[in-house]
Amino acid sequence: MSNEIVKYDPELNTIPLRKFTPVEMNLFFSIVSRMRDKGDKTVRFSFDQLKELSAYKPTANNRFIDDIESTYQKILGLRFGRRSKDGLHREFFVMFTEFEINGHADDPYVDIKIYPKAIKLLNELESWVRYALSEFRDLKSSYAKTMFRLLKQFRTTGYAYFSVSDFNELLDVPKSYKSSNINQSILKPIKEELTPLFRGLTVRKKYGKGRGKPVIG
């Protein structure tokens, strides 16, 4: 499992994973790694397979089922959709439409099926984000996990720029956070955990004009 690759359309990186815990992120991207190029087929994951893919620690199946269910409830809250430039045509969809957890089976399993309009996120990709599941999985902070995915999208440019509003939305930064909170709780774990994975990683703040020189990116 150590060489399992996660690969998907960059659009998936534009959706903030609101309130996902690190365990739920591991489960979600373990599922994504195995749903690639399966079209609209229902894909079966045994509990053991999903635990191994996601490096899941607690062993009791009741707890595992609760974590899978909470992951799916949060997946249902992800906002996929498109709108026309004039705003007159808008559509929204969920990523997975079938999600059955069967803990009664001799070999307990989860059956998952992708929604037809979401197929392009994981199939016949023209552009993609790609990384090793093990590297993602081993990161502890949810902020480091999210920034890891985002930086992998910019592997060819060598840098990524985020406005403050995009940064706050993509990383789901609490509205109550001040600059000191962001430095300590978000930027510090990102630097500590990602520096070994991205050679020469630096984080620079862009300051705007005006009183107090506010951070704008």
Same domain, 171 and 202: yes
Q: Within a domain: residue 79?
A: yes
CA distance 67 to 71: 6
Tell which of 121, 155, 188 closes a domain: 121
Query: In this structure, is residue 181 part of a structural domain?
Result: yes
Assess if residue 130 is contained within a domain. no
Reduce the DSSP state of residue 69 to 3 states and report it: helix
Read off the pLDDT of each residue in 9-30 and give the average, rounded to a whole number: 94
Q: For residue 184, give both structure tokens.
A: 């300590």
Local confidence band at 83 (pLDDT 50, 70, 90 cut-offs)? confident
Domain end, chosen from 71, 86, 121, is at 121
How many helices and strands (H and E) does the chain possess? 8, 7
57 and 96 part of one domain:
yes
- The C-alpha angle 169, 179, 165, rounded to 5 degrees, equals 25
Number of C-beta neighbours around residue 86 at 10 A: 6
Report, as an integer, the average pLDDT of 97-123.
94
Residue at 128 is within a domain: no
Q: Of 94, 121, 148, which residue is a domain's last?
A: 121
Mean pLDDT across the stretch 4-18? 93
Residue 167 domain flag: yes
Residues 157 and 64 in one domain: no
- The rounded mean pLDDT for the chain is 93
The pair of three-digit structure tokens given for residue 144, joined into one six-digit string: 């480091």
Report the relative pairing of strands 80-83 and 43-46 from DSSP bridges: unpaired
1 pLDDT more than 70: no
Looking at the structure, tell me whether residues 108 and 35 fall in a common domain. Answer: yes
Query: Could you tell me the pTM of the whole model?
Result: 0.90
User: Does position 62 have pLDDT exceeding 80, yes or no?
Assistant: yes
Per-residue pLDDT at 152: 96
**Residue 180 is assigned to a structural domain of this protein:** yes
Q: How many domains in the chain?
A: 2
Same domain, 107 and 194: no
Q: What tens digit of pLDDT does each residue of 198-209 get? A: 989 999 999 998
Do residues 112 and 12 both lie within one domain? yes
CATH number of the domain enclosing 105? 1.10.10.10
Residues 102 and 145 in one domain: no
What average pLDDT does the segment 174-197 reach?
A: 95
The answer as to whether 56 is a domain residue is yes
46 in Cβ contact with 157 (< 8 Å): no
Pairing assessment for the beta strands 109-114 and 96-102 based on DSSP bridges = antiparallel
What's the pLDDT score for residue 2?
56
What pLDDT is recorded for position 93? 87
Query: Do 144 and 37 belong together in one domain?
Result: no
DSSP-derived secondary structure letter, 120: G
Check whether residue 32 and residue 107 sit in a common domain: yes
Mark whether 36 and 106 lie in a shared domain. Answer: yes
Residue 126 CB coordination number (10 Å):
6
Confidence (pLDDT) at 37: 95
Tell me if 209 is assigned to some domain. yes
Residues 82 and 112 in one domain: yes
Residues 112 and 174 in one domain: no
Q: Are 35 and 114 in contact (CB under 8 A)?
A: yes
Residue span of the structural domain in which 147 resides: 139-217
